[in-house]
Amino acid sequence: MFNSKLVLDSLYDGLYTVTRLRKINYWNRSAETITGYRADEISNLHCYEGPLKHVDSEGTDLCEHGCPLTWAMTHRQKHEADVFLHHRDGHRVPVKVKVAPLYDETGEVIGAAESFADNTVQMLALERLAELEAAALLDPLTCLANKTYLESQSQRYLREMVRQPKHIGVMVIEIDDYEALCERLEVEARNRLVQVVAETIRSNSRPLDLFGYVDDGCFVGLIHDVTSNQLYTVGRKLAALIEKSNILLGDQLVQAKVAVGGAMLRPDDSFQAAVARCEKQLHTVRQGGGNVAVELHFFKV
């Protein structure tokens, strides 16, 4: 049999438990890594008197107002929250906390367990979405960037290339036979399929990469700091994940197959020219029967 402490210490997420009075009685190794605090510094402290001092995005001290642990124990329900913990080095770390009440054999609440994971990437993505929405630069169907924002961002990259080398890939992802899909599917179903593709792209992109929806069934991405080979790898990954996604219409599964073309942004480029080169790669893909093609580009050392 496995030792339970060994198992809990091996978890990727931070995990700790508290008594009904919120005294910490277990602190795993991932909790040490994420917060910088050792178990012997945290154990036997009440969570509200320890150094973590969770706050929300408004800076509200959750130990005094809105503690997730207290909520879960009081309501006898699981609870999730986005909070900011205080790292040993002094900065705040965004984390997603998930709390579950703990019961004794009679059904009485005797404490709670809280798991937490660094939420920096997700918070950055949400902030970007909010900024784009506020500036009317968000496509309403897919919640990705619109063509206007993609063009302005590519112009920023081109200006930066004048000052220093920057390796930016441009990627076009097109849903195959989109016109046939339009004829076969009702508008609501077609839009849902496009949204599934968009969500797959967003959920599997790196924080600095930017994707947008620019036309019927067509997505364009600006891929940060890549070589041609890496751009090809990104395209293969997204194509595979998209083609493994689907929606259920009645008793029928509907999938979107895609073709992906890629090219590197050049210092003397324009957004339109780079997209046109990607579309040439799409033609190569469709002629050859594959699903991804990237224009070769050799970097100067």
Question: One-letter amino acid identity for 24?
Answer: I
Say how many C-beta atoms besides its own lie within 10 A of residue 118's C-beta: 17
Q: What is the pLDDT of residue 300?
A: 39
- More confident site: 193 or 64: 193
265: DSSP letter: P
> What is the DSSP code (8-state) at residue 266?
P
Q: What spatial distance separates the first Cα and last Cα of the chain, rounded to whole Å? A: 55
Q: What percent of the chain has pLDDT over 70?
A: 91
Q: Under a CB-based contact definition with an 8 Å cutoff, are residues 84 and 92 in contact?
A: yes
Quick: pLDDT tens for 150-168.
Answer: 998 899 888 888 778 889 9
The pLDDT of residue 156: 87
Q: What is the pLDDT of residue 232?
A: 93
Q: What is the pLDDT of residues 67-76, one digit of tens each?
A: 899 999 999 9
Question: What one-character-per-residue DSSP string does 7-32 give?
Answer: HHHT-SSEEEEEETT-BEEEE-HHHH
Whole-number average pLDDT of the chain:
85
Lookup: tokens for 183: 């004829």
> Which pLDDT tens digit goes with each residue over 261-299?
999 999 889 999 999 999 999 988 888 777 898 987 644
**85-102 in b/e burial notation, b at 16+ Cβ within 10 A?**
bbeeeeeebbbbbbbebb
Task: Answer whether 0.75 is exceeded by the pTM.
Answer: no
